[in-house]
Amino acid sequence: MSRSLARLAVFLPLYVAVSIPALSAEPKPAAPGDRVFGTDKVVQFHVTMSEKQFAALTPAGGGGFGPPGFGPPRQAPEGTHRNTFGVNFPWSQGDLEFDGQTFKDIGIRYKGNYTYMAAAQSLKKSMKFDIDRNVAGQKLDGLTMLNLHCGVSDPTKAREALSYAFFRAAGVPAPRTATLELTLTVPGKYDKEFVGVYTLTEQVNKGFLKMHFKDGSGMLLKPEGLQGGLAHFGSAWRAYENRYKPKDPPTDEQKKRLIDFTRLISSGTDEAFAKEIGSYLDVDAFLRFIAANALLSNMDSYLGFGHNYYLYLVPATNRFVFIPWDLDLSLATWPAAGMPEQLVELSIHHPHAGKNKLIDRIFAIKEHKERYLAIIKELAATSFTKQKLLEILDKIEASLKEPRAKEATAVAARKEGRGGGPGMVFGGGQFGQTMPPRRFIEKRTASVAAQLAGESKGFEPKLFGFGVGPPPVRPTN
């Protein structure tokens, strides 16, 4: 045998052994929602409803600001969802077409608090689609629930997608988004009517939790109205249900875990708090969550009224984590905490409005405050740079260009008004408050850099627009 043949005889088996697994390796399976979501993706939904089904979407009254049904909220009727102002959104149903598939009898309802009132006179309202509500096991690309956010508070229609993208880049579990074009057919009323462009937003549910935490069986809470932090209401669980709003009935152990956690925050000694907080809360994840909110000047959140977030008790660790939600008033636009030119200078050292017991107690521990500032510095040098943010914004704006032109034409043809009835006035953005994303990126990145350099203290917010002083003045040299 020649030397060449001898070498071939030695190396050929090794080559085959190495190559065969590579050739036979299966591609990584797509995750649920991969066909639907993408920061620069545009998807089309077409919904068909009967006239009766379409009419059934409209709330019958009850709660809310002003007539009809003004007054203390009553118990929500069966088959409805009650918003913060006591408006009961009934579930209806219709057929959904997406990417050549038809999903029969999906659940459909309106959603929102301020956004619903602001869009009251428009065909385009925020909605929730429950894919398997009436057909067991029905899923759209592995998903059972989808949120269609109308962006009535955001003239740019880019805030939510940009803010969620940053949360994810910052290492915070956060929903995915896409740009959605919605058309509607109601025989005798609408024929493939272009309703508008939406931010399609992933639902925080068991599927989301399993994707991020490998287990969706933990206690998921959607707290509301807990301004000042996670409040303790004593030892009786009933007091927690209406404020912490568990998505599924919790176990006795889960109930006790929340009660003990809030007790530690509320009345634990400084020594006990410092020693035990890490056993109840994923502190590093919490600091990252606060840092991302602060950088985005997102005050309609845990930093302000104490809402628009989820709280999840992770089964593997028995610790709580925070998940962001409802970001249409991010980027320095929440009017109850200050004007845009103030909020774009939001203090990174005290980003919350007034007092928040959990944040204040965490920040009072030197190692945690130092870690928080280290996260701010890390993000300011990586995912919260002007270049990175503008790259994301460019993709979002490109995806929005054609859909927004279609929407403008459709709205003009319908001659729609805006506003929520008597006493409700809305300007170019909800409450007339807005800051273009490009201006926000320019000014916010500069403000954060100045604060990290010790050249500015930033703006310390208080609720209802009364902050501590005017926007800081920084040296110009």
CB 301 within 8 A of CB 291: no
Report pLDDT for 76.
58
Compute the distance between CA of residue 320 and CA of residue 317 in angstroms, rounded to an integer: 8
**Max CA-CA distance within the chain?**
98
What pLDDT score does 83 carry? 76
Note the pLDDT of residue 463: 74
Can you give the pLDDT of all 477 residues of the chain as single tens digits?
A: 444 444 444 444 443 343 334 444 566 778 999 999 999 999 999 999 999 999 999 998 644 433 333 344 445 566 677 776 778 999 999 999 999 999 999 999 999 888 888 888 899 999 999 999 999 999 999 999 999 999 999 999 999 999 999 999 999 999 999 999 999 999 999 999 999 999 999 999 999 999 999 999 999 999 998 888 899 999 999 999 999 999 999 999 999 999 999 999 999 999 999 999 999 999 999 999 999 999 999 999 999 989 999 999 999 999 999 999 999 999 999 988 999 999 999 999 999 999 999 999 999 999 999 999 999 999 999 999 999 999 999 999 999 999 999 999 999 999 986 544 433 444 444 454 689 999 999 999 999 999 999 999 999 998 764 444 444 544 433
Q: Which amino acid is residue 344, in one-letter code?
A: V
Radius of gyration of the chain measured on its C-alpha atoms: 25
Distance in angstroms (rounded) separating the CA atoms of residues 156 and 383: 22
Q: Identify residue 416 by its one-letter amino acid code.
A: E
Q: Are 152 and 16 in contact (CB under 8 A)?
A: no
List Cβ neighbours of 351 (8 Å cut-off, separation of 6 or more). Answer: 290, 293, 294, 303, 461
CB 293 within 8 A of CB 267: no
The tokens describing 278, both together, are 């890490």
pLDDT of residue 29: 77
* DSSP secondary structure letters along 138-194: --BTTBSEEEEE--TT-TTS-HHHHHHHHHHHTT-----EEEEEEEEEETTTEEEEE
Peptide bond before residue 90 is cis, with ω within 30 degrees of 0: no
Q: Tokens for 182?
A: 């919605």
pLDDT at 254: 99
The two three-digit tokens of residue 432, written as one number: 């007339």
Measured CA to CA, the distance from residue 119 to residue 307 in angstroms comes to 21
